[in-house]
Amino acid sequence: ASKYPEFVKASPVTQRLGSSGQLFEQIFDIDSDRSKAQELLGAMSEIFSPLQEQMIKFFSEILEKRSLSCPGLLTAIDVLKKSVEASNQDYLNQLLNRLYDKIVAVWSQFVSKQLATIGSTMISIKKRNGPVFFVKVFPAFCKKIEQDIKNEVPAGIDARELGVRAIADKSYDQLGKTMLHILQRTAKETSSLVQQRQGARNSVIGQPGAPEGPANDYEDKELLNYHILMIENTTVMNEGLEPLESN
């Protein structure tokens, strides 16, 4: 410790910078002496214990307001973990894994909120209102995530091998199934409503004051509106997602 000031004077920071202007870094393989590695991990964890908690708190507060940034950040951590997971950087691995788990939890909570919002949507088939709002937004949502992932993946790394790929695909699957479920639920409700009306009308045919003539065109119009709704929404979704699938 007494020689540290002399070391700093003999090796100023400018001499320890690489050609890119960054501090020289050297990552070694996993330490074969695991007992010493555990001692070092314990010392690092004790020294930098406030750092972990502060970083986790910082990311939590930021990402709760900007949850769409989660996939891009997870990709960046995935890439960094690949370079240090088979190294002697046990503390860095531990820190990255804690951050990763926290970001995944924030993202899962965000997706759950979107699923709840979609699930509570009531679709009216009494008139044509164009594509449902979540169907119009979904392709742009997927495009944003895929672009963020692509931006964080350097050359030579296959994004399909990263953990974020499975997380993103699971989110797409959950949201897509929920949207289709809502549309299908509308079909069942519409069909059930029409059958009830037809049954009620048939029960009074022939009685005084009963309606005469063909079946109520209003019911046929509701069924037609539903079919148009399904075709319109699935077309918008397919056309929006097709460019992403081709890439």
- Given a cut of 60, whether residue 51 has pLDDT beyond it is yes
- Given a cut of 60, whether residue 200 has pLDDT beyond it is no
- Given a cut of 90, whether residue 198 has pLDDT beyond it is no
Q: Which secondary-structure segment (H or E) carries 131?
A: none
pLDDT of residue 218: 55
Write the CA distances from 127 to 29, 81, 171, 234, integer angstroms. 66, 52, 31, 18
Provide mean pLDDT across the span 31-46: 76
User: 61 is written with which tokens?
Assistant: 């507060």
Which position has the token pair 């963020």? 148
| Cα 229 to Cα 76: distance, rounded to the nearest angstrom | 40
pLDDT of residue 89: 77
- Local confidence band at 238 (pLDDT 50, 70, 90 cut-offs): confident
Provide mean pLDDT across the span 175-201: 71
Phi first, then psi, for residue 206 (nearest 5°) are 90, -15
Q: What is the pTM of this model?
A: 0.71
Listing DSSP states for 188-199 in one string gives: HHHHHHHHHHHH
- Nearest of 243, 59, 81 to residue 146 by alpha carbon: 243
| Cα 224 to Cα 88: distance, rounded to the nearest angstrom | 66
Highest mean predicted confidence (pLDDT) among 14-18, 185-189, 218-222: 185-189
- Given a cut of 90, whether residue 27 has pLDDT beyond it is no
Burial environment of residue 146 by CB neighbours within 10 A (0 to 12, 13 to 18, 19 or more) = middle
